[in-house]
Structures are given as structure tokens and as C-alpha cells.
Amino acid sequence: MDLICRFVDCASLRGGGLFTKTLVYRKQAKRMTTKTTKQRKATPQRKERLPRVTEFERGSIVTLHNLGWKIERIHKQTGRCRGTISQIIKELPRRPDAVKRTKQRGPSKKQKAIAQRRVKVVLIAKAVDRTEGRAEPKFGSCKQIALEFERRTMKRFSDSTIGRDLHECGFRCYVRPLLTFNKAKTHYARIAFVRGMLQDHNTPYFNRIVFSDEHYVDGNHHGNRSQWCTARKDALARLSMSRFNVPSIMIWAGIGHNFKTPIIFLDLGTDDEGKTVRMNADGYIRKCLSPLVPRLKAEKRVLMQDGARCHTAKRVMEFLRKKNIEVLDGWPAHSPDLNPIESLWAHLNVLVYERGPAHSVEELRKHIVAAWKSIPMATINNFAAHFETALRKVKKERL
């Protein structure tokens, strides 16, 4: 009202427009008064604070919670606020048999797509092509599998993604074992020999077998193939030459369980025309079998020899029959993996190389004799025991 009176005084002094201006200012004053009243009414009054939770109420809340009631239902039943109920429940000790409730969610669309992709990748990786009685993997690398996957589904994925999918599915990339034969007939002969040996004989019979074979020893590198270094250029080179360009010599020996023959050097040499003299039946009988026959008969051993011509010649078989030497018949062709002495030759090569480079055949002879003497009988027995293991391994072999 003071504002209106002042306006009236000013307006009377100026003269004119008194009524109109007075009405406008009255309306503004009324609005200001109404707004202040609404603001006062809108201010909420503070509720009275509930008394502290008693032990009886706490026990009731805990009991209802153990019965499986939700916080909202407990709030309506007890009248206590939800925050108080939640705090009481959190303070409860966790039961050992309690199971944490988690919302069960199904796999997302992305996870379903990955699972479907992996199923197709595994099927492609397992694809096998059988030709001429042999099985060959159709797609052996991640790149080939990725290309085949793109051809089938019109979707392209990187090689690393395909490799990761195979790894997650339990697949590993292994080097395929080498077959020592290329005919199905040889495979069936190996299987027949292995099954016959495992069915008709046992470990005591295997311990009687003497495994024999020839081997070329040369002065090439037979040490470590790998080397740890910071760069490829720092790796030291290995000497690998043809055995005709380094000192080399052919040897023969036999091993078995608690059996080890001395090394026999087969100095074949050359004839008058300069051609290398090959081992024949007479030389095999004279140099290899004759010194060994008395020991074979005394210990009732079984002689094993491969299908080389000098081993299966009529003279040799007749000589062994007259001397009453039992021979292991039916040895399959292309089966060096069954002969334990082949593994021993690799071990001997390393031992010879560790004795230093041989610059002549005579020096190589000394290294071979010393290395052969250094092999203990326990090592020989370990190699001989490999025969039964190899039989069981070949039994599971597939083309």
C-alpha cells in the first residue's frame, strides 16, 4: 500500500494517468502476496522421527527375511523404512549353506554367434579326404580353414580368429607324424605283425629279442639344433655335409634286455674299378653272425633282423637254422620305428659328436668305440623296452 500511495503522490505531481497506473500496481502487489503464500504452503513439514528399532522388531525383520519375504513386504508389515530393513539384513552373518541368488541370463546374441561359428570351424578342421586308402586333412592351416569358412558362409574372419576359436575348442596344431611307407599293403602287414606279437607273446619273450641293424656314422653336426639368442643373425651355423665329404664309416651292433654286442666295423672299401663294395651274405655271416652265435645259443636269444637282402639271403637263413638260432619272422618292411636300435643310433651320434670333430676315419673309429663303451646297460634296457610300447602305438595307427 505504501507503494501505491507513493505512486499516487508522484502521479498527482506529474498530472494525468492516475487511475490506470494505480490499477496495474495493485494487481502486481496481489501477485507477489499470492506467490509468497503458495511458497509457504509448498514447504513440507518435517515428519516426526520414528523411535529406535527394538530388539523385538529386529528379530521380527530377521525372521520375515529368513522366510523369504522381500524388503517391500517387510516394510508394509512392520512400518519401518526400507533403508533400515536393508541395513539390518546386511548386518546378518552369511550362512555357510546360503546360495547367492543371481539373475539367470541366457547367452547374448554375440555369444550365440560365436558358438555357431566355432561349431562350423571345428567341422571344417575335422574334414578328412581319403585317397588310396590314406587319410589326408583337407584344411591343415588356419588360412585354409578361414577361406573354406568364407566360401560356405560368405563371412570373412582373420586367421588369428580361426586359430583362437580352435584353441578354445580344445584343438592344438601338431606336426603330423611321418609314415615310413606309402602303400596300404605295408600298413596291413604292420598291423598283422603287431597284433600277432601282442596276442602270442608277452614281456618275457620280448626281453629275449636281440635287435640288430647297420648304421652309418659320420663327422657331421649331431648336437643341438636350436639356440637361444636375441636375433636370428646371432645363431651359430651347423655343419651339415654329405657323408661322402666327411669321414664316415658303417657299423653293426645288436642290443636287447641286458644284452649288448661290441661294435663291428664294416670296412667295405672299394674294388679295383673304384666302386663301393656292398655288404653281401658271406660278409654278413663272417663278420656279424659268426662271433655272435655262441652267445645267442647260450642265452637262448631271438635274433631280430630287418628285410635287407644280405639278412634274408638263403645262405644266411640256412646258417642260422643249422646253428639252431631262433629268428623273429615276419618283420614288416619300412618299420624302423619298431626297432629300438634305431633310437640308440641317434643317441650314439650325439655321443660321438660331443667327443669333438673327427678329421679322419681312424679318429672317428676311436670316438665310436669310446662312445659305445660309455653307454650303460640301464640305457640299453630302456631302449629295448621301447619295443613293446611301439607295438601298442602301431596297433592304434590308422591310414
Residue 306 shares a structural domain with residue 198: yes
Measured CA to CA, the distance from residue 399 to residue 396 in angstroms comes to 10
338: closest CA among 386, 397, 379, 398?
Answer: 386
CB 328 within 8 A of CB 196: no
Measured CA to CA, the distance from residue 358 to residue 337 in angstroms comes to 29
CA 290 and chain centroid, separation: 50
Distances (CA, A) of 350 to 82, 292, 372: 80, 27, 11
Residue 288 shares a structural domain with residue 328: yes
Quote the pLDDT of residue 132. Answer: 59
Residue 255 shares a structural domain with residue 390: yes
Would you place residue 210 in the very low, low, confident or very high pLDDT band (cuts 50, 70, 90)?
Answer: very high
pLDDT digits 0-9 by tens, 143-166: 999 999 999 999 999 999 999 999
Does residue 309 belong to any structural domain of this protein?
A: yes
Quote the pLDDT of residue 102. Answer: 54
CATH number at residue 205: 3.30.420.10
Does residue 312 belong to any structural domain of this protein?
A: yes
> Which residue range is the domain that position 316 belongs to?
184-395
Last residue of a domain, one of 142, 168, 194: 168
Would you place residue 4 in the very low, low, confident or very high pLDDT band (cuts 50, 70, 90)?
Answer: very low
Residue 149 shares a structural domain with residue 263: no
Does residue 305 belong to any structural domain of this protein?
A: yes
Quote the pLDDT of residue 256. Answer: 94
Measured CA to CA, the distance from residue 117 to residue 136 in angstroms comes to 24
Q: Give the pLDDT mean for 374-382.
A: 94
Lowest mean pLDDT segment, chosen from 22-31, 107-116, 125-134, 156-165: 22-31
Last residue of a domain, one of 120, 137, 168: 168
Consecutive H or E run containing 72: helix 71-78
Residues 6+ apart with CB under 8 A from 218: 243, 246, 247, 248, 249, 364
Measured CA to CA, the distance from residue 301 to residue 256 in angstroms comes to 9
Does residue 30 belong to any structural domain of this protein?
A: no
Residue 149 shares a structural domain with residue 221: no
Does residue 209 belong to any structural domain of this protein?
A: yes
Measured CA to CA, the distance from residue 125 to residue 140 in angstroms comes to 7
Residue 338 shares a structural domain with residue 263: yes
Residue 324 shares a structural domain with residue 390: yes
One-letter amino acid at 303 equals L
pLDDT digits 0-9 by tens, 212-239: 999 988 887 776 777 777 787 777 777 6
Number of domains the chain is built from: 3
One-letter amino acid at 380 equals I
What is the value of pTM for the model shown?
Answer: 0.58
Question: Would the pLDDT of 366 be above 70?
Answer: yes
Measured CA to CA, the distance from residue 240 to residue 225 in angstroms comes to 11
Does residue 96 belong to any structural domain of this protein?
A: no
Quote the pLDDT of residue 218. Answer: 86
Quote the pLDDT of residue 157. Answer: 94
pLDDT digits 0-9 by tens, 271-312: 555 555 567 888 899 889 999 999 999 999 999 998 888 898
Quote the pLDDT of residue 45. Answer: 55
Question: Would the pLDDT of 252 be above 90?
Answer: yes
Quote the pLDDT of residue 46. Answer: 55
How many Cβ atoms are within 10 Å of 339's Cβ, its own excluded?
22
Residue 188 shares a structural domain with residue 164: no
Does residue 288 belong to any structural domain of this protein?
A: yes
Average pLDDT along the chain: 80
Quickly tell me which residue has 657331421 as its cell: 220
Residue 293 shares a structural domain with residue 355: yes
240, three cell numbers: 651339415
Does residue 242 belong to any structural domain of this protein?
A: yes
Quote the pLDDT of residue 47. Answer: 55
Residue 155 shares a structural domain with residue 198: no
3-class DSSP assignment, residue 160: helix
Quote the pLDDT of residue 399. Answer: 53
3-class DSSP assignment, residue 396: coil
Give the DSSP per-residue string, 91-149: TSPPPTT--------PPPHHHHHHHHHHHHHHHHHT-EEEETTEEEES--SHHHHHHHH
Q: Give the pLDDT mean for 320-347.
A: 90
CA 392 and chain centroid, separation: 23
Residue 80 shares a structural domain with residue 136: no
Residue 291 shares a structural domain with residue 190: yes
Q: Give the pLDDT mean for 368-396.
A: 91
